[in-house]
Amino acid sequence: MEELRWVRKFFNDLTPFELYDLIRLRNEVFVVEQNCVFQDADNKDQFCFHLLGYIGNDLAAYARLVPTGVTYDGKISIGRVITSSAYRRSGSGRALMTEAIEQCYQIFGKQPIKIGAQLYLKDFYGSFGFIQTSEVYDEDGIPHIEMIKD
């Protein structure tokens, strides 16, 4: 499989095509595939960096890189982590998290990263050094936990 080509941009610098790609992928996975009706446009995108992983012209992987105070007080975050169903089990998810962590450190400096993770992905995020820091909670009908990587 082709290697991922990374594009990292602040919201205002996204092209209309990149913005469409990320919205389409987020809707494809979070709304349709996970059968979850929720408000994806949460007024955070405008304050974040966006990491897009392309294979050819396809958006294969995406994550939102969130500054301190936008999602969590005192902590940066990585959110909306997704890989397209067409590229799962290819290592794209692992490559995405590796790149997202590195990009967070480049943008915000090396500091703890806090995430809200779907419970079934606890071991996946744990493999990157994230530790569970909350009880299980429901978010849009899906069990989640908070995790921190120091």
Domain ranges of the chain: 5-149
Average pLDDT over residues 108-124: 96
| pTM, full prediction | 0.92
The total of other beta-carbon atoms located within 10 Å of residue 86's CB is 11
Predicted local confidence at residue 36, as pLDDT: 65
Q: What CATH number was assigned to the domain covering residues 5-149?
A: 3.40.630.30
Spatial separation of the C-alpha atoms in residues 20 and 23, rounded to whole Å: 5
Average pLDDT over residues 84-105: 93
- Assign residue 123 a region: left if phi > 0, alpha if psi is -120 to 50, beta otherwise? alpha
Tell me the pLDDT tens digit for each residue of 63-93: 999 999 999 999 999 999 999 988 888 889 9
Task: Answer whether residue 18 shows pLDDT above 80.
Answer: yes
Task: Answer whether residue 1 shows pLDDT above 80.
Answer: no
Res. 29 pLDDT band, cuts 50 70 90: confident
